[in-house]
Amino acid sequence: MKELSIAELEAKFQDKIDREIKIEPNDWMPDAYRKTLIRQISQHAHSEVVGMLPEGNWITRAPNLRRKAVLLAKVQDEAGHGLYLYSSVETLGADRESTIDDMHAGKAKYSSIFNYPALTWADIGAIGWLVDGAAIMNQVALCRTSYGPYARAMVKICKEESFHQRQGYESLAVLAKGSPEQKAMAQDALNRFWWPALMMFGPSDADSPHSAQSIKWKIKRLSNDELRQNFIDATVPQAELIGLTVPDSNLKWNESRGHYDFSPINWEEFYQVLEGNGPCNRERIEARRKAKENGMWVREAANAFAAKRAMKKTA
Ligand code: FAQ
């Protein structure tokens, strides 16, 4: 049989994508498609794992047993999401440990939002409501991403994130209806998390180097700006419902656009956080490095056990 040229393979690949056929691990794919997926999925996995830190810090300080049980379950879910995603990266031939080392060395990113501190109990509600809310907005679109293992992982993750978003909103709604101090604490959490949550969607479309190609490959189904706008449109009425004010004096429903108008985003702050200069960047990386170091004996024991089993099988 005649061997296909790279151009022919690429045309066949794009045709499959255009016909909504999922790409699976053993299918031929352009190197750049594989690289983009390894970059995006591993960074997504790192975000899930680093994302456990701000909330994990509050498990011992949750105000009652119910809140503690819910928070514990949520943080464990995030660990599970990291694991599905690392497995999904491995189907692309990447080595999980190297992707983790890249993050520790500052070569791979994780979501900017996790470089902000959780200062009060209300921040835990705000993280569930806004951070998980923004994550779902992005991840529902990713359930239809072109790479099969990533799309399937997203379906399960979205179901759990949806519970996370609701528990956060409910927790903040209770504070907003509480004493004046509790309401002020809820408002302060919204004030601090609103803009960083909007930044989670990434740079505006004009400044997003990967978007055009990722949309052509249907890795991304909606652009950064479209997702951000959808998030704002969905979240503003939720804030109003619980009597909180979104910290943007230019926020206004635009009848002709059918969307909310909002103030420009402070992209300087976003890029500073990406550069490693956010409030908690150093602390987060240090915590993950230490976790790897302290857990090394478990990895070594598991590897030794696996090697022994493999030797027994071949004997
Ligand atoms: N933070 O050209 P684009 C969660 C980077 S999960 C840091 O637009 P792309 C669950 C980007 O990587 C949250 N870096 O890139 C949870 C690229 O840098 P690179 C994570 C960012 O990939 C909740 C450069 O900027 N979700 O929260 C950010 O096409 C609560 C140029 O940007 C995902 O990862 C950012 N915000 O679009 C856990 C979803 N934005 O790689 C615990 C999957 C952009 O060239 C508690 N990822 N950058 O060095 C995606 O959908 C995409 O990768 C985007 C970025 C939309 C994030």
Nearest to 37 by CA among 214, 209, 215: 214
pLDDT, position 229: 98
Atom 31 in ligand 1: which residue has the minimum CA distance?
208
Nearest to 179 by CA among 122, 241, 245, 236: 122
Question: Mind listing the pLDDT tens digit for each residue in 44-83?
Answer: 999 999 999 999 999 999 999 999 999 999 999 999 999 9
- Residues with pLDDT less than 50, the chain: none
Q: Record the pTM.
A: 0.96
pLDDT, position 251: 98
Atom 55 in ligand 1: which residue has the minimum CA distance?
202
What single letter denotes the amino acid at residue 50? V
Question: Mind listing the pLDDT tens digit for each residue in 27-54?
Answer: 999 999 999 999 999 999 999 999 999 9
pLDDT, position 315: 75
CA 198 to centroid of ligand 1, rounded, Å: 12
pLDDT, position 313: 84
pLDDT, position 2: 82
Closest ligand 1 atom, CA of 134?
A: 27
CA 119 to centroid of ligand 1, rounded, Å: 24
Three-state secondary structure along 47-90? HHHHCHHHHHCCHHHCCCHHHHHHHHHHHHHHHHHHHHHHHHHH
CA 19 to centroid of ligand 1, rounded, Å: 27
For 248, phi then psi, to 5°, come to -150, 110
CA geometry: angle 138, 144, 149, nearest 5 deg? 100
For 164, phi then psi, to 5°, come to -60, -45
